[in-house]
Structure 1
Amino acid sequence: MDSSFKHFYRKSYHDRLSVVGEYATLNDDAKTLIKEHVNQTDAKLIENYLTDYSLPEGVGVNLMVNGVEHAVPMVTEEPSVIAAVSNGARMLSKNGIDATVISRELIGQVVLHNPQPELLDWINERHGELIALADSAHPSIHSYGGGATDIEIRQLDVDDYSLDLSVNVSEAMGANIINSMLEKIGAAINQQSPGVVLMQILSNYATKSLVRVVGKIDFSQLGAPGMTGREVAVRIGLASHIAQIDPYRATTHNKGIMNGIDAVTIAMGNDWRAIESGIHAYAAKDGHYRGLSHWKVVDQQLVGEMTVPMPVGFVGGATSVFPLVKINQSIAKVKNARELMQLIAATGLAQNLAALKAIVTDGIQKGHMALQLNSLAISAGAAPDEVAEVVKKLRKIKNVGIDDARSVINQIRKSS
C-alpha cells in the first residue's frame, strides 16, 4: 500500500492533489483541468474530494402525463437516451400516459437474531407503542402528513426475524428519517433482550412505494418502412413477451427502461442507485427476473403498462444542496414527490417504447450510430466548431471508426 495515502482524508486539498498527481504521474495540464472544476461547496459533501465530474443535461420533450405536458430534465452521457425518450413520448402524446401512485411508504428493518418467543410476543403486544416510539424520533413528521404506519414481523429462517417498519415520509427521500426511527425501536428491543438486534437499516426494496403507468398508441403512430402500424404493434407485443420468459432479454429490456428513469432521477437530485436496486429486485419479485413493462395489442391500439417502486423525494438531501435540482423541478412542472414518481415512471415507459420499436423494425444500431457520430468526432479530437462538418462527412462512410474520424478531421483542417 502506498504510504503517501496514509491519513489521506486529513490532508489539505493541495496535498491531496499532489499525492494523486505523483501517484498517477499526472502532467501539469491534467492537474490544471482537475483544479478548473473544483467547487468549494461540493468539496464539503464527500470525503477525499478531488474535483467535480460533470455529465451533460438535456431535456426530453413531448411527454404527456395525466393530461399535462412535461419537459423532462435528464442527466446522461449516452447520446441516444434523450432522443429515444422524446421519440417514444411523441408516439404516446396523442393519448398520453396515465400515471397513478398506488402507495408511497418506505420500509425499514430491525433484524433480530435468535429472539425468544416471549420477545416476539412482547413486540406484537406493543404495536401501537412502538409506532409512537418511532414517531418520537421525528416529532415534526406528523405536521407534514407523515409518520410510521405499521409494524410487521417476518420470519426469515429458523433463527432470524425481521421487524418491518412502514413509514410515510411525506415529501422527503426518508433514509435518515427511517433509520433514526429504527434505531429507537432497536434500542427498546435490546433493553428487553440484550444483543438480539443484529442491525437496523432502511430497505431499498420499496414494495410500498409503487407507481403504475399506462400508455396507449394508435396504430397510425407506429408505422415503419415496409410495415403497417398494426404489424409493428404486434412485433412490439411479441418482443415484450420474450422479456417475460427470457432473463437475458429481460435484463437488456429493463436496462433500456432504466436509461430514462436514471437520467431523470439524477437530474432531480435523488439516489439513482437506490432506485436501480429496488426496481431490479421488483423485476424478480416472483422468483424469475422479468421485463418490467408489458405491451399488447388491444383493439386498434398498442397498450403498454408498467408498475415499479419509486421511492424518490422532493425535499431534503441532495435536492436542497444542488441549485439545479430546484430549477429542474420547475422545468419539469412537478410540485411534489407523487408527481415526480409519475413523471419518472412515464419517462421509463416512453424510453422502452422507442427502444422496442427500433429493435423490431430498423434495428437499434441505425439510430444509435447516427447519434454516436458526435461522440466519435469529439473523441477523435474535433473542436466544437468542427463537429458538425465532421459528422456530415462521417455519415457517408460505412462501418465508421475512430481512424476514419481522425482522417476526416485532418482533411478539414488541411483544406481550411
Structure 2
Amino acid sequence: MPSPIEGFSKLTKEEKIRWIAEHYTHDPKASISLFKTYWNKDADLQQLHDEFIENTLSNFYLPLGIAPNFLINGKVYALPMAIEESSVVAAASKAAKFWFSRGGFRTKILGTEKIGQVHFMYQGDPGRLAAFVEQIQPLFVSETLSITKNMVARGGGIKKVELRDKRQDLKDYYQLHCTFETLDAMGANFINSCLEQFAKTLQREASTSPILRPEERHLEVVMSILSNYVPQCFVRAEVSCPVDELGSVGDISASEFAEKMIRAISIANIEPYRAVTHNKGIMNGIDAIVLATGNDFRAVEAGIHAYAAKDGTYRSLTHASLENEVFRFWIEVPLALGTVGGLTSLHPLVKLALEILGQPSAKDLMGLVAVAGLAQNFGAVQSLVTTGIQQGHMKMHLLNILNQMGASEQEKKQLVEHFKKHSATHSAVVEALQELRKTS
C-alpha cells in the first residue's frame, strides 16, 4: 500500500498521472497511455476541461444522443441527452413519436422560487427574537445590495426572509428561511452570498440589540446554505387524448391499455419498492438532458426524490387518469435549472445543446426537462404493461454484449438481424455468437 502523498495538487498533470499509475495500477505504462488517449487534441480545449475540477487526469466520456420529434407547446424539439444506459434515448424517441400525432406535450410553470436558509441557535425568549428579526428586515435588503443589484435589475432578487422556530425538532434551533428569484441562473452562488451576508447582519445586530436581553444577544450561526429542495420551483408536463386514439397494442385494446397504465401508476403511488424504480426511470430522461445542458443533476436528483416523499411516503412522480373517455398522463416535478452561468457558458457541447434547444430560458428548460422525464416514464410503463421491459431493453443492450464478447462488425450485423426475431438475453447472445463462430 502506498504511503500518503504530500502536495499532490501541486504536481503537474503528467506527474499526477505517473504517480497514480505507478502506485495504483497493475500496468502503469498502459494506464498512462489510456489516460492520455482520452485527452482532447486541442490543447486549449483540454485546458478548459482540466480547469473544471481539481486534480484532473483525463476526460471521462458519455455518449451524447438526440431524441427527435418532440412536439412541446406546439413547437418541435430535438432533445440532447447525455447518458450511457441503453434504450433510454430510444424509449424517449418512441414516446415522442407516439404523442406527436396525438397533440404532443404541454407544459406549465407552477412556480420559480428557490430557497436558502441561515441555521442558528438562540437561547432566549422567542417573542423577543421575532421582534428583533422583524426590526432588521430592511437591513437584509440594504446590506446585500452589492450582491443583488444586477439580479434585481433583471427582475429577480430576494423575495422573503422569515424567521422559523424549529425548537420542536432540535433544542434552541431557529432558521432564517429565505426565498429568492434567480431568473435564468441556477443561482447557487448568488443565494449563498446573500445568506452569508444575512448571517453577518443577524449576528452583528443581535450583539447590540435593545430588544434582546444581554444574555440573549449571542446568536450562534451554524451554517448558511441554499437548499436543493425546491417545492415551489416546479413544473407540470402532460399529454392527453381520447382513449380510442391510443390505439391497440397487440391483443390489448386501447381502453384496456389505458386501464393498465393507470393501474401501474397507482401501484407506484402506494408501493415504495415499485416507486423507486418507477422514478429512477423518470430520472433516466431528466438526468440525461440536465447533464447535456450543463446543470447539476445531483442537486436535481436530491430535490426530486425529496419531493416524491413530501407526504411521508415515497410515491410516483407521474399520474394518470381516465375521465370522460380522455386518457391523461402527467408529471409535476421540482426543477431548479439555469441557462446562464456555470458550465452553460464554458462547455462547448453544453453551449451547442442549448443552441439545439433554441437558447431556452430557465423556465423553458424546466418544461423540456419535465417532458423528457414524462416521455421516458410513458415508454417504460407502456413496455411493462404490454410486452415486458426486457424485450426492448435487451435488444438495445445487444451491441454492448457483443462488444464485451469482442464480436467483429460482420458478426454484429448478423446477430442484430438474428435477434430481431429472438429474445436477446445475455446467455442467448453468448450462445448465438459461439454458434456463429463455429459455422464461419
TM-score range, shorter chain: over 0.9
- Which of 110, 114, 122 is matched with 1:102 structurally? 110
TM-score normalised by L of structure 2 = 0.89
What is the letter of the counterpart of residue 240 of structure 1? Answer: I
- Which of 159, 164, 168 is matched with 2:172 structurally? 159
- Which of 357, 375, 385 is matched with 1:360 structurally? 385
Alpha-carbon spacing, 1:237–1:16, altered in 2? closer, same or farther (3 Å): same
1:24 aligned partner = 25
- Which of 44, 66, 72 is matched with 2:79 structurally? 72
Distance 2:260 2:431 in 1: 40
Give the drift of 1:396: 6.0
What is the letter of the counterpart of residue 50 of structure 1? Answer: L
1:36 aligned partner = 37
Give the drift of 1:100: 0.9
* Equivalent residues in 2 for 1:3-402, closer than 5 Å: 3=3, 5-22=5-22, 23-38=24-39, 39-93=46-100, 94-116=102-124, 117=126, 118-157=128-167, 158-191=171-204, 192=206, 193-219=217-243, 220-383=245-408, 387-394=412-419, 398=423, 400-401=425-426
CA displacement, residues 318-377 of structure 1 (integer Å, 9 cap, x when unaligned): 111101112111212242111000000011111111111111111111111111101111
Contact kept? 1:104, 1:168, Cα under 8 Å: yes
CA displacement, residues 58-95 of structure 1 (integer Å, 9 cap, x when unaligned): 11122111111110000110111011111122222221
Give the drift of 1:217: 3.5
Contact kept? 2:119, 2:175, Cα under 8 Å: yes
Contact kept? 1:394, 1:405, Cα under 8 Å: no
What is the letter of the counterpart of residue 125 of structure 1? Answer: Q
Distance 2:62 2:256 in 1: 38
What is the letter of the counterpart of residue 304 of structure 1? Answer: F
Give the drift of 1:410: 9.0
Give the drift of 1:261: 0.4
Q: Which runs of 5+ in 2 are unaligned?
A: 40-45, 207-216
Percent identity over the alignment is 35
What is the letter of the counterpart of residue 201 of structure 2? Answer: A
2:214 aligned partner = none
CA displacement, residues 232-283 of structure 1 (integer Å, 9 cap, x when unaligned): 0001001111111111111111111111000000000000000000000001
Give the drift of 1:399: 5.9
Give the drift of 1:413: 10
Distance 2:63 2:247 in 1: 30
Distance 2:384 2:147 in 1: 51
2:212 aligned partner = none
Q: Which moved more, 1:304-313 or 1:148-157?
A: 148-157
Give the drift of 1:401: 2.6
User: RMSD across aligned C-alpha pairs, in angstroms?
Assistant: 2.2
Instruction: Select the structure of larger CA radius of gyration.
Output: 2
Distance 1:383 1:176 in 2: 50
What is the letter of the counterpart of residue 185 of structure 1? Answer: F
Alpha-carbon spacing, 1:396–1:92, altered in 2? closer, same or farther (3 Å): closer
Contact kept? 2:199, 2:221, Cα under 8 Å: yes
Secondary structure of 1:45 counterpart: coil
Secondary structure of 1:62 counterpart: strand
Secondary structure of 2:403 counterpart: helix
Secondary structure of 1:77 counterpart: coil
Give the drift of 1:383: 4.9
Q: Which moved more, 1:109-118 or 1:332-341?
A: 109-118
TM-score normalised by L of structure 1 = 0.93
Matched residues, number = 415
Secondary structure of 2:144 counterpart: helix
Contact kept? 1:393, 1:408, Cα under 8 Å: no
What is the letter of the counterpart of residue 92 of structure 1? Answer: W
Alpha-carbon spacing, 1:400–1:304, altered in 2? closer, same or farther (3 Å): closer
Contact kept? 1:91, 1:217, Cα under 8 Å: no
Give the drift of 1:173: 1.1
Secondary structure of 1:249 counterpart: helix
Give the drift of 1:403: 8.6
Secondary structure of 1:40 counterpart: helix
Contact kept? 1:63, 1:69, Cα under 8 Å: yes
What is the letter of the counterpart of residue 321 of structure 2? Answer: K
What is the letter of the counterpart of residue 346 of structure 1? Answer: V
CA displacement, residues 170-203 of structure 1 (integer Å, 9 cap, x when unaligned): 1111000000000000011121244521100010
Alpha-carbon spacing, 1:254–1:398, altered in 2? closer, same or farther (3 Å): closer
Secondary structure of 1:41 counterpart: helix
Contact kept? 1:115, 1:196, Cα under 8 Å: no
Secondary structure of 2:110 counterpart: strand
Alpha-carbon spacing, 1:126–1:249, altered in 2? closer, same or farther (3 Å): same
